[in-house]
Amino acid sequence: ADNAVTIRTRKFLTNRLLNRKQMIVDVLHPGRPNVSHKELDERLSKLYKSPVDCVFTFGFRTAFGGGKSTGFALIYDSLEDAKKIEPKYRLIRHGIGAKGTISSKQRKERKNRAKKFRGTKKAKVCSVLRFAYFRLFLLGSVQAATAGKK
């Protein structure tokens, strides 16, 4: 079943500003419901001679009737470039960093606290609370990195 998957790329573009290659990926997979992102990442990294963790695939949709999926792929020159440019949610999906665990109650309290202010003061209150989110994200990514080394 593994060799039944064919990968074709189109609209290939080397984006020097963002240090990446970007492309639309067509995956032909007759007899299979779909192909996992992990498998696609491995295949594309082999195809473009780059590390697996620098390949980001997303936005895949299976054609009606199955057998073909189309999505988007980004291949960064290095992991540092990916960490700088990729959105946080995609890094989390990729296993780089961890999701900040903030309860809905804390989110609501933050929202209601911000309601009491207007203009620059409101931005200041929100930024202090956003810093807490960011710190949780960083702590999560450090924990994930140390967990991977063990």
Distance CA 93, CA 116 (A): 35
pLDDT band at 146, cuts 50/70/90?
low
Query: Residue 43: is its pLDDT beyond 50?
Result: yes
Q: Is 102 helix (H, G, I), strand (E, B) or coil?
A: coil
Q: 41: burial class by Cβ within 10 Å (0-12, 13-18, 19+)? A: buried
| pLDDT tens readout for residues 80-113 | 999 999 998 999 998 887 777 778 898 888 888 8
pLDDT band at 72, cuts 50/70/90?
very high
Q: What is the pLDDT of residue 121?
A: 82
CA atoms within 13 A on the CB side of 119: 1
Q: Which of 57-61, 68-72, 136-140 has the lowest mean pLDDT?
A: 136-140
**Average pLDDT for the chain:** 85
pLDDT band at 147, cuts 50/70/90?
low
Q: In what order do the strands lie in the sheet with 20-28?
A: 6-15, 20-28, 68-76, 55-62
